[in-house]
Amino acid sequence: MKETPAKKPGEDPASEASLDGKPYRSPVVAVLGVGSYTPERVLNNEDLERMVDTSDEWIVTRTGIRERHIISEEQATSDLGIEAGKRALAQAGLSAGELELILLATATPDQITPATVCHIQRELGAPRAAGFDMNAACTGFVNALMTGHQLIAGGGFANALIIGADALSTITDYEDRESCVLFGDGAGALVIGAGDGPGVVMDHIVGMDGTGAEMIRVNAGGSRQPASHETIERREHFLRMDGRKVFRFAVAKICELVEEVTTRNGLSLDDIDLIVPHQANLRILEAARRGLGLDADRVMANVDRYGNTSNASIPLALDEAAREGRLQPGMLVILVAFGGGLTWGATLLRW
Ligand code: UT7
């Protein structure tokens, strides 16, 4: 993908380029590189058996998760994002000094202010880059990719590093067996740039429904309930969710989004080579796959080794698919996300 000749902003606006004669919905923005990083420390199901009343058998049967990676005491979300960003930049053949925009999707910032992306910019050595953090829970990466795409397509920036990074272990209650078995830490990143190329960002669908805000939440530590001794005693700084409701929402949303982004681009499901969904639970992925009538090899699943890494999960899975050779130039890929808020989104890519 690194051979892609990046065009200057505005050189190819609202491109007449097409996919097999079918029109793109958006101006042309190329995918230049992908990378990911997970911390070294591994927490497996046997470790969790010693921490809460659970079993490897229950976790594998109900979630498909076998292990997840957890940050060390010295690490924070930015450290994960920096490493993934470096790897994506290396693959894109772009130096950090050339970067114009960095967008970080995260639900677990290093601190409330400054934005975590500032730490990433400093450590990458990208002085020309503007940037900001975005929080749409597990949907954040798709929102950030859409934002970066549109900012480049609008002519304001020539390139962008889009990072999804989370350290969910820092808001996980390791006394709550329903949630603590699910989450892991990691980061993934995509470099995109103005111009056509073998990889192209084609379309996005995003949405939200704030009436579902209670379904996945961290109650304290924000302006509604600032941190206090009492909130800490009540363990309100940890993530809580209604797992069964989220499960049903997720399966329905994946199917709906995949069908919508496919049909509105004049494609059929048969045209799609790989779907890369947010990795929350293998049963969710399997139920959605069956609902769409797809074979297992067309839905990327690596939740067994990473758990739910929130904003990192899609770029982490995309990077793994690329390294496994499951993505070849020209293939059509759908990224599909759902998460707290409730929020959801899908991106159509030509690899
Ligand atoms: O990014 C989005 C974030 N969230 C999600 O994606 C979560 C989506 N939801 C899920 O993945 C599933 O709903 C869970 C994995 C959270 C739970 O699986 P489930 O099949 O929906 O189980 P359940 O909540 O219906 O619970 C079944 C039983 C309960 O016991 P009783 O009431 O039947 O006696 C739970 O107490 O399993 C029990 N249970 C556990 N048992 C052993 C719940 N967690 C555990 C556990 N180990 N870790």
10-residue stretch averages of pLDDT, the chain, 351 residues long: 40 45 64 97 98 98 98 98 98 97 98 98 98 98 97 94 98 97 98 88 95 97 96 97 95 97 96 97 97 96 98 98 95 97 97 94
Q: Span 202-350: which CATH code?
A: 3.40.47.10
Does the beta carbon of 201 lie inside 6 Å of ligand 1?
A: no
pLDDT at 27: 66
pLDDT at 290: 97
CA distances from 32 to 198, 293, 307 (A): 9, 31, 27
**CA 278/CA 296 separation, integer angstroms:** 15
**Annotated catalytic residue within 119, 149, 204, 278:** 278
pLDDT at 320: 97
pLDDT at 8: 36
Q: Which atom of ligand 1 is nearest to the CA of 54?
A: 47
Does the beta carbon of 26 lie inside 6 Å of ligand 1?
A: no
**CA 184/CA 198 separation, integer angstroms:** 32
- The label of the residue with tokens 């304290």 reads 220
CA distances from 313 to 95, 268, 318, 332 (A): 25, 26, 9, 19
pLDDT tens column, 78-96 = 999 999 999 999 999 999 9
* 178 CA from centroid of ligand 1 (Å): 5
Does the beta carbon of 63 lie inside 6 Å of ligand 1?
A: yes
Does the beta carbon of 288 lie inside 6 Å of ligand 1?
A: no
**Annotated catalytic residue within 69, 138, 143, 255:** 138
Q: Which atom of ligand 1 is nearest to the CA of 179?
A: 16
Fold annotation for 26-198: Peroxisomal Thiolase; Chain A, domain 1 (3.40.47)
134: enclosing H helix or E strand: strand 130-134
Q: Please name the residue whose Cα sits nearest to atom 6 of ligand 1.
A: 280
Does the beta carbon of 178 lie inside 6 Å of ligand 1?
A: yes
Site to substitute for ligand 1 among 178, 246, 284, most atoms within 8 A of C-beta: 178
Question: With contact defined as beta carbons under 8 Å apart, do 30 and 195 qualify?
Answer: yes
As annotated, the residues of the chain forming the CATH 3.40.47.10 domain(s) are: 26-198, 202-350
Does the beta carbon of 174 lie inside 6 Å of ligand 1?
A: no
pLDDT at 184: 98
Strand partners for 343: 208, 339
Q: Please confirm, yes or no, whether 278 is among the known catalytic residues.
A: yes
Q: Please name the residue whose Cα sits nearest to atom 36 of ligand 1.
A: 178
DSSP class of 72:
-
Q: Are strands 130-134 and 159-167 parallel, antiparallel or unpaired?
A: unpaired
pLDDT at 309: 98
Q: Please confirm, yes or no, whether 135 is among the known catalytic residues.
A: no
Does the beta carbon of 237 lie inside 6 Å of ligand 1?
A: no
Q: Please name the residue whose Cα sits nearest to atom 20 of ligand 1.
A: 62
